[in-house]
Structure 1
């Protein structure tokens, strides 16, 4: 919502102040299609050169996130903590044998199926199951498990940031590409140097539209999109850090509820459930048969 408001404010203030000062939109509108085609075409071409297919596909989804925001809501953090509570409680009270059926086939698990949104996130599900599987294979050193989880998180975070980096690279290139298009306009103007001054003025003004568009698109749209997408990736990454916090706390011998409380401390402040809210959520979980 704020992104749409921001775009409206951007265009209203930039073009509104220009018109208010007595500027005419005619030269801009006359050159807009040509200049925009050259700049955006060059930016898209450079992006295709610089990135692989997976990153290009992820950029489309990333643009959707810019407007929709992070996928995880406050209720999802409560659900994650509840899921981890059930898993660690089962492991502590019933042993690793009782846990194996849940982590080997999570889609058939009565525990995982209580939280379908989390189960649809392949990384979250695999991250939980792979870590618990290591524990069932007697890898019980908390420091080793934490180190292994940290490496997985770093890899996932690095890959998740690729679309934002690609957008930022496009943003960095747009001012220069605007100059390239403007220079071509100047070359065209020099080829018509015998034309009257009013004609040459219109041609030079049209050429400068390229520089204007390159700078505005870079710092007004694409750059802020990249910044917003990076922020969303960081916030979504916090969701997975909670998994690490809870499972490592469990390995240190804490009770399931204590491990969950340690994980609750890692929830972003705007999404963090209170102690009482979390206690109520855990108390309302049906007993696992």
Structure 2
């Protein structure tokens, strides 16, 4: 929603300011310039990225207009789930969670937290390492290195669409210049064939190309790339929370302390307090 609000502010201030100074808005409507700039930018975008990145970029741009699913309530459910899993391990042994890990969709533990269960990426990450814990004695340092490698791969994959959108933003001013130069070439070729008034309109149309390229880059596509980057940062925190909690458990800390370790890595805006998390765990354990 804020993305749309920001776009409205950009349009109102830029076009409104132009109108208030006496400019004619119809002068800015240059479909050919839009075709040159937009078509060139989209074409370069397609050329410079593989199909997987193109699809991911499309999903990322669409997701930028939606509210984030990574909220305090999500983190509370995630940490309550890990607390229950680790408590079950401490009371009944690692083999007691084998069924939960192998088929989380049918696990009563996971079913109590549908917000987490619907995020198959975080569920897969969690169950993969719980499966390793069930399989035998593991060196926490080796597990941490493996987690770091996986998170680095995840980070690179997640940032590929953001980088693609940012590159398109960086190229838009250049395509605006291309459109403007082509307009000037058209003007120069028309000297002596049209009136001075028509030449003035053609020059104005050419200059609109530079204006549109810069406006689209810094008012629309660039900010969209920044929104995608923020959402990527938000989406990586649940993985860090799971990593920290499981490593604390492997190092011998109790479930309550292990979850507290995981809580501490969260951003302050979404991090629940110790008492909030404790109350949530108590309420869900009674279900």
CA distance in 2, matches of 1:55, 1:71: 22
Match of 1:58 among 53, 56, 59: 56
Alignment of 1:94-173 (within 5 A): 94-173=92-171
Q: TM-score, normalised by structure 2?
A: 0.96
Displacement of 1:139 in angstroms is 4.2
CA distance in 1, matches of 2:201, 2:53: 41
Q: TM-score, normalised by structure 1?
A: 0.95
* Preserved CA contact (<8 Å) 1:164 1:230: yes
CA distance in 1, matches of 2:143, 2:137: 7
2:178 is matched with 180
* Preserved CA contact (<8 Å) 1:168 1:222: yes
CA distance in 2, matches of 1:89, 1:69: 33
CA distance in 2, matches of 1:55, 1:165: 10
Mind listing any 5+ residue stretches in structure 2 that lack a counterpart?
none
* Preserved CA contact (<8 Å) 1:161 1:233: yes
1:13 is matched with 13
CA distance in 2, matches of 1:69, 1:36: 30
Displacement of 1:51 in angstroms is 0.9
2:209 is matched with 210
CA distance in 1, matches of 2:167, 2:67: 22
Displacement of 1:185 in angstroms is 0.9
Displacement of 1:262 in angstroms is 1.1
Indicate the SS of the match to 1:267. coil
2:195 is matched with 196
CA distance in 1, matches of 2:39, 2:282: 57
* Preserved CA contact (<8 Å) 1:250 1:259: yes
1:272 is matched with 271
CA distance in 1, matches of 2:265, 2:103: 28
Describe the superposition over 1:33-65 as per-residue Cα deviations: whole angstroms up to 9, x where unpaired. 111111111111111111111211122221222
CA distance in 2, matches of 1:97, 1:129: 13
* Preserved CA contact (<8 Å) 1:69 1:232: no
Indicate the SS of the match to 1:71. coil
CA distance in 1, matches of 2:28, 2:280: 58
Displacement of 1:120 in angstroms is 2.0
* Preserved CA contact (<8 Å) 2:77 2:115: no
Q: Do structure 1's residue 225 and structure 2's residue 224 form an aligned pair?
A: yes
Q: How many residues matched? A: 286
Displacement of 1:26 in angstroms is 2.7
Displacement of 1:287 in angstroms is 6.3
Q: Which stretch of structure 1 is more off in the superposition, 243-252 or 16-25?
A: 16-25
Mind listing any 5+ residue stretches in structure 1 that lack a counterpart?
none
Q: Do structure 1's residue 249 and structure 2's residue 248 form an aligned pair?
A: yes
CA distance in 2, matches of 1:272, 1:116: 19
Indicate the SS of the match to 1:111. helix
1:24 is matched with 24
Displacement of 1:196 in angstroms is 2.1
* Preserved CA contact (<8 Å) 1:90 1:98: yes
Q: Give the superposed CA RMSD.
A: 1.4
Displacement of 1:217 in angstroms is 0.2
